[in-house]
Amino acid sequence: MMKSYAPKTMAELPASLAALTPESKIVGGGTDFVIRLHSGAVQPDALCYLGHIPELKKIEKQGDTISVGAYCTMTQMEHDPIVREYLPALMDAAADVGSLQIRNNGTIGGNLGNASPAGDLIPVMYLYDAKVEIASPNGTRIVPVTDVILRPGKTILEANEAFIRFLFPVPAFKSAFVKLGSRKKVTISRIGVALGLDMDGDYVREMKMFAGAVAIKPVAFEKACDFMKGKTINEQNVLDVAGFLSDYIAENVAPEFDRDYKVYASRGVVTDVFDRILGRL
């Protein structure tokens, strides 16, 4: 019989985590997990749900840091005024996850914990240099999100550990995220591009760009960013940036992962993310 733990306060959290074994699972909104549970692909001895702890559902700005609880849902992030003002790429990504029903349940913690190469929020976390606070029975530790994913479905979390909070430094740049799936809505990402721009008038001072769903972890496009430094945003420059993405895909993605499509469609998603960010400058 599967056990379940659902602590209601931060004080109860360590005892619940201490009871978990390597066969146990922390459950967020269950977007992917419930499917695997029903299919028998996972057979945990215990489930632990932390969504009743109020602190884990809060979004707060404390000085230069925005703290997002691990059990904040996609819907919550999509509509939260702090996220909309400071982390619009996170809003973009959250708003485009699955269907409304999925967004009402799916959490930011689950999105990282599931460690899917197609995880919509992960390139955005990379863009914003996010850190994540991890709780264990003995206390908490804070690690950069870039250190979390080991391989698809596997993170650095130990059996007794759980994500509790994400920490985003308030960015000094404009940002946006666009995903390209197999259809417009309710679709798995085939390419997700998170873009940050710091402008000096019409010229790019600094650019940051990460692409999701083209490798196990989001890929940084430093050369594309260097290329854009001091340039204006025009059609040709945008297409050249897309060229960096399509070249990467052509060289690194296996054909069975829709390589040819992704190579061709790179210019679509890059054009769209620039269009979106231009609306925010």
| Interface positions with another protein (CB under 8 A) | 40, 180, 182-188, 258, 260-261, 264-265, 267-269, 271
Q: Distance of CA 20 to CAs 48, 139, 171, Å?
A: 8, 15, 37
Query: In terms of CB distance, is 144 or 268 closer to another protein?
Result: 268
Query: In terms of CB distance, is 172 or 183 closer to another protein?
Result: 183
Query: At its nearest, how many Å lie between another protein and the CB of residue 183?
Result: 6
Query: In terms of CB distance, is 150 or 278 closer to another protein?
Result: 278
Q: What distance in Å separates the CA atoms of residue 145 and residue 128, rounded to the nearest whole number?
A: 10
Query: In terms of CB distance, is 82 or 188 closer to another protein?
Result: 188
Query: At its nearest, how many Å lie between another protein and the CB of residue 266?
Result: 9
Query: In terms of CB distance, is 197 or 269 closer to another protein?
Result: 269
Query: At its nearest, how many Å lie between another protein and the CB of residue 75?
Result: 17
Sorted by sequence, the CB contacts under 8 Å of residue 63 that are 6+ apart come out as none
Query: At its nearest, how many Å lie between another protein and the CB of residue 38?
Result: 9
Query: At its nearest, how many Å lie between another protein and the CB of residue 250?
Result: 12
Q: What distance in Å separates the CA atoms of residue 69 and residue 64, rounded to the nearest whole number?
A: 16
Query: At its nearest, how many Å lie between another protein and the CB of residue 162?
Result: 27
Helix 235-252 and helix 259-278, axial crossing angle in degrees, nearest 10: 150
Query: In terms of CB distance, is 11 or 183 closer to another protein?
Result: 183
Helices (H), the chain: 13-18, 33-39, 74-79, 81-86, 88-95, 100-105, 108-113, 122-127, 222-228, 235-252, 259-278
- Cβ atoms of 23 and 44 closer than 8 Å: yes
191-200 β-sheet, strand order: 174-180, 191-200, 203-212, 219-220
